[in-house]
A and B are shown apart, each in its own frame.
Chain A
């Protein structure tokens, strides 16, 4: 079964940092672009970041550019999101999601599967 499991969420003070991880299993991780999507409480989905299979191509939403860093370790079947300078507006459930198709970079054809999400709460 193809599966993604996020970890690393929690409560952090404004200005603080957090590193999220996403462990992949059931598929060849190195063949797919990967993504982070977040959802603030009661709000819609917001794209955060994407990374190509070889980490050469990386994209961010404007709202996180310069503060967040996406990375991956294909040997460990893992995706990461380093989040710095966190503010209340970053409070959300963070989902890890795989690109739908095997492709070096994003295919443009959506995300599947998704992880269950990990909650990040930024509050003093």
Chain B
């Protein structure tokens, strides 16, 4: 298995803030890193795949970077609809694994 470690576990931020979430893989996963957003009571939604490719329809304030073992999800200007839990996931090797999640809350 490839454990994925996200940080922080949670963060409080205000509308308009720049937010950064990190994800670290226990071994090299090249660029096979995906980011999902999940709102309470809803199914997750794909935000970014391949470490940096924005999924169709995702606002450009979301961006991803990194390769190898260290990755980052950035929200350039937090909007009210962005308060949610974010998960990274490695798609490099089975079994696929998710990070523990980062909850973004309103300050």
Binding site for B on A (CB under 8 A): 35, 37, 44-47, 50, 59-62, 95, 100, 106-112, 114-117
Cβ A109 vs Cβ B44 within 8 A: no
Q: How far is the CB of B100 from chain A (nearest CB, A)?
A: 5
List B residues at the A interface (Cβ < 8 Å): 1, 32, 34, 36, 38, 43-46, 49-50, 53, 55, 85, 87, 89, 91-92, 94-101
Across-interface contacts of A117 in B (CB, < 8 A): 43
19 A-B pairs in the complex with CB atoms less than 8 angstroms apart: A44-B98, A44-B99, A45-B36, A45-B44, A45-B87, A50-B96, A59-B95, A59-B96, A60-B95, A62-B95, A106-B91, A108-B32, A109-B50, A109-B91, A110-B91, A111-B46, A112-B46, A114-B45, A117-B43
Nearest residue (CB) in A for B38 is A45
Known A44-B85, A44-B87; further 14 A-B contacts with Cβ < 8 A: A46-B98, A62-B1, A95-B43, A100-B55, A106-B91, A108-B32, A109-B53, A110-B36, A110-B46, A110-B89, A111-B34, A112-B46, A114-B43, A115-B43
Q: Which residues in A have their C-beta under 8 angstroms from that of B91?
A: 106-110
**In whole angstroms, what is the CA distance A107 to B94 when docked?**
11
Q: What CA separation (Å) do A111 and B44 show in the bound complex? A: 9
A3 to chain B, nearest CB (A): 12
A119 vs B50: C-alpha distance when bound (angstroms)? 30
**What residues on A are CB-neighbors of B97 within 8 Å?**
47
Q: How far is the CB of A38 from chain B (nearest CB, A)?
A: 11
- What residues of chain B lie closer than 8 Å to A50, measured between beta carbons? 94, 96
Q: Are A44 and B100 within 8 A (Cβ)?
A: yes
Residue of A nearest to B47 (CB): A110
The reply to whether B89 and A44 contact each other, CB–CB distance below 8 Å, is no
List residues of chain A with CB within 8 A of the CB of B45.
Answer: 112, 114
Q: Are A45 and B101 in contact (CB under 8 A)?
A: yes
List the B side residues contacting A59 at CB < 8 Å.
94-96
